[in-house]
Structure formats: structure tokens, C-alpha cells
């Protein structure tokens, strides 16, 4: 019997009425004669509530206990969903990650799944059961619960699809699929029918909230096609795949933007070999991710300015680390947290000249100033003022005829 993995996000199971609706979706797949494995998130708002409670207890909450606390949200949702299926006359039960077990490596709050025990679930599936599995979590080599980061239920679903060689992996969420850009920022955004892994990975890492970047990476590494669909309306979603023959000639597939970036400029840095490494070493050691980096050319060979971006949540810690860094010398540090990164993504730009010019020219015509630029083979990102984000998205959407 072929297996289908279904993942339901927090909004999909956000209320009792929604859970009843999700049960019907699960049964629609079950009635097609498939073995069904379900991975569920916590009900929307529950995880944030648990985080708030942890902060009231301690500003240095133990990380192992933090993961144990957050994992309870999925446990509740899975129990409710399994109970509803049983009420409808079907064999179902909730499964905690440690009962399977789902084994993880890495740090608390940001682990990765390394292995999934299959014996118990295979036996249960053969009996006709529908397992409802807690997403977002696993168990580490210390026999402690460890979580996979926000949005980690996607990773749970994809790895379940890998280990059980599933025919399909369907991610149910509150949107109809992946859009050319955020519909909340641009009402004319269009749903993308099919998208490459690499394009989706760029969009996810650049601010698209549809999927967690590490989950897309796991899907790519394991060659697992993913369907993203809405649990609210019965419409075709978006296929994330690597099947080249199915794609159109669209140059730019999507536009992403962020609203939680900060720009830091270190002015008058002594220009010598190793200075950049000295600046970024303590940031790396403190798990601060550095994104866009620009270093001015040193005309006198003595001093240079270095600009980079980080997440705004890390700004306070980053400034402190730089000021306390005895390995570097500089005249001044400035920062700006009123910035947004806007990116165009598309594999078509690899073979199409002039994309960079068209992007910059389109923004210039709208008097949108570019502060920092970074590129890859399938992405161009620019840092601009927050106030221009919506205008930039609309301008680029029109320039590359994405409607």
C-alpha cells in the first residue's frame, strides 16, 4: 500500500472546528486506499504562549527544559486530532516523537532529524491505523526532547516521507500555495504552480514564511517532491520539485522581502589581513548569522569601512561584541534597523543577461536608493529603506512580468 505524509500547520489545527475539518481532509486521503502518516503542529498561538510563560519564569530558561515545554503544544493538537478520527470510527492514535523514536542531532531549539524508527509505525499502518505524530521535535542521544526550530513540523513531515518512501508529501497551511511575493504586501501576487527546490530555498531563507529553509534543503537532498496546499479551500497548490521538463520560461519566479534586518557599518577599520575574520569570529561563536557583507576599497591602504546585515534581534548583542572585541581597531560604529532586504529569485537569470541592470534601473526610476547588494546564481538582493518595501515589490513584479 502506498504511503502519503500529510503535515498540518498551526492555523490548520488552530481551533476545534479547524481540527474537525482537518480530520475530514485526512479521511479523504484514507478513502483512496492509501496509508496515511500525519505530522501536526501545535494549535496557532500555543507555542508563542509557552514562550511567553518561559520568559516569566526566567530570562535564562534552561534550553533542555525549554524544548520540553514547547513540545507540549504539538502533543495537545495530536491528541485532539486522533480523538476526532476515533470519534468518526477510524483507528488512530497520537504518537510522541520519543515513542517512535525520531532521533535528532544538534543543539536544543535547532536540532536536525538523523533517523526515524520504522518498526512500530509500519506495524500500526498495516493494521489500518492513522498515526498522528508530533511535529517539530525528536529525542537526542541524552534521551531529552529536542525541537527543530520554528516551522520544524515541515522537517518532520519531509523526513517521515524519506524514511517511509512516501508517494506524496503534502504540506497543508493557511495559504493556497507559494506566491510570487507576499500577497499581504502586494495584492496582485500570483500563485506559483511549480517551483524548483533551489528557488524555494532562496525564497524561504529570504523571508517567505511558507516553509522553513532547512526543510526545503532536506527535501532537495532527499529528492522529495512537496505539494503545498491550503487546508481552508480545496484548490490545487504549488509543487516544489526538481523536474526540469515541467517548467516554463519564466525568468524570475519570486520576490521575497524581510522586515527584521539591521545594517551595521564599522567605520575606519584598520585594513590588514585577517581583520574581517577577527570581526566575524565572535559573532559566529555566539550563533549570530551574518548576511550581506560589503567592504569598501581601501584607497590609502590603512583604513576601510565594513558593512554587514544581521537579524534585528541580534543587534544589541552584536554591538556589544564589536565594542568589546580587542582584536580590531576602528573609529566609529553606526547601525540602521529601519531597513528591508528585497530579493528577486529565479533559475532563469543564470542564462539571461541584463537582469541586474533591469532590477537596478526599475528601482532607480522609482527613486528607491540601494544601500547594499548581494548576489548568487539565482538571486539578487538589495537592502533598501523599510518605507520603500511595498513600492519596490510592486515595481519589480511589474518589471519582470510576473502577473
pLDDT tens for residues 48-75? 999 999 999 999 999 999 999 999 999 9
HSE of 90 in the Cβ direction (CA atoms, 13 Å)?
26
pTM for this predicted structure: 0.82
The pLDDT score that the predictor gives to residue 247 is 54
CATH 3.40.50.1000, applies to 3-174: no
DSSP-derived 3-state class of residue 290: coil
What pLDDT is attached to residue 245?
Answer: 52
Q: How far apart are CA 90 and CA 84, in angstroms?
A: 9
Distances (CA, A) of 189 to 86, 203, 210, 234: 40, 14, 14, 20
Q: What is the pLDDT of residue 213?
A: 83
Q: Which ranges of the chain have pLDDT less than 70?
A: 207, 244-249, 298
- For 320, which DSSP code? H
Amino acid at each position: 500500500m502506498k504511503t502519503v505524509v500529510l503535515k498540518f500547520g498551526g492555523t490548520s489545527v488552530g481551533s476545534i472546528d479547524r481540527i474537525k475539518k482537518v480530520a475530514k481532509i485526512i479521511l479523504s486521503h484514507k478513502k483512496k486506499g492509501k496509508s496515511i502518516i500525519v505530522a501536526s503542529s501545535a494549535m496557532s498561538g500555543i507555542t508563542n504562549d509557552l514562550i511567553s510563560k518561559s520568559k516569566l519564569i526566567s530570562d535564562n530558561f534552561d534550553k533542555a527544559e525549554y524544548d520540553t515545554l514547547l513540545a507540549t503544544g504539538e502533543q495537545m493538537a495530536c491528541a485532539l486530532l486522533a480523538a476526532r478520527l476515533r470519534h468518526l470510527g477510524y483507528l488512530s492514535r497520537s504518537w510522541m516523537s520519543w515513542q517512535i523514536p525520531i532521533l535528532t542531532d544538534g543543539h536544543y531549539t535547532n536540532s536536525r532529524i538523523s533517523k526515524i524508527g520504522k518498526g512500530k509505525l509500519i506495524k500500526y499502518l498495516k493494521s489500518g491505523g492513522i498515526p498522528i505524530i508530533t511535529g517539530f521535535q525528536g529525542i537526542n542521544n541524552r534521551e531529552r526532547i529536542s525541537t527543530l526550530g520554528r516551522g520544524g513540523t515541515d522537517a518532520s513531515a519531509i523526513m517521515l516521507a524519506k524514511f517511509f518512501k512516501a508517494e506524496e508529501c503534502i504540506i497543508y497551511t493557511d495559504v493556497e500555495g507559494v506566491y510570487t511575493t507576499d500577497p499581504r504586501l502586494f495584492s496582485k501576487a500570483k500563485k506559483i504552480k511549480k517551483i524548483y527546490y533551489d528557488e524555494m530555498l532562496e525564497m524561504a531563507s529570504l523571508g517567505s514564511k511558507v516553509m522553513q529553509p532547512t526543510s526545503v534543503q532536506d527535501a532537495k537532498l532527499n529528492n522529495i517532491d512537496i505539494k503545498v496546499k491550503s487546508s481552508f479551500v480545496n484548490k490545487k497548490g504549488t509543487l516544489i520539485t526538481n523536474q526540469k521538463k515541467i517548467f516554463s520560461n519564466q525568468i524570475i519566479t519570486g520576490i521575497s522581502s524581510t522586515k527584521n534586518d539591521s545594517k551595521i557599518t564599522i567605520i575606519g577599520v584598520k585594513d590588514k589581513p585577517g581583520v574581517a575574520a577577527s570581526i566575524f569570529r565572535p559573532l559566529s561563536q555566539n550563533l549570530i548569522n551574518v548576511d550581506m557583507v560589503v567592504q569598501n576599497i581601501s584607497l590609502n591602504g590603512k583604513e576601510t569601512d565594513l558593512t554587514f546585515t544581521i537579524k534585528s534581534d541580534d543587534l544589541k548583542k552584536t554591538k556589544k561584541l564589536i565594542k568589546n572585541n580587542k582584536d580590531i581597531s576602528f573609529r566609529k560604529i553606526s547601525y540602521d534597523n529601519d531597513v528591508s532586504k528585497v530579493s528577486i529569485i529565479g533559475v532563469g537569470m543564470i542564462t539571461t543577461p541584463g537582469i541586474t541592470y533591469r532590477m537596478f534601473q526599475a528601482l532607480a526610476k522609482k527613486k528607491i536608493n540601494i544601500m547594499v547588494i548581494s548576489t548568487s546564481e539565482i538571486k539578487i538582493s538589495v537592502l533598501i529603506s523599510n518605507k520603500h518595501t511595498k513600492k519596490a515589490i510592486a515595481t519589480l513584479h511589474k518589471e519582470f512580468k510576473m502577473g
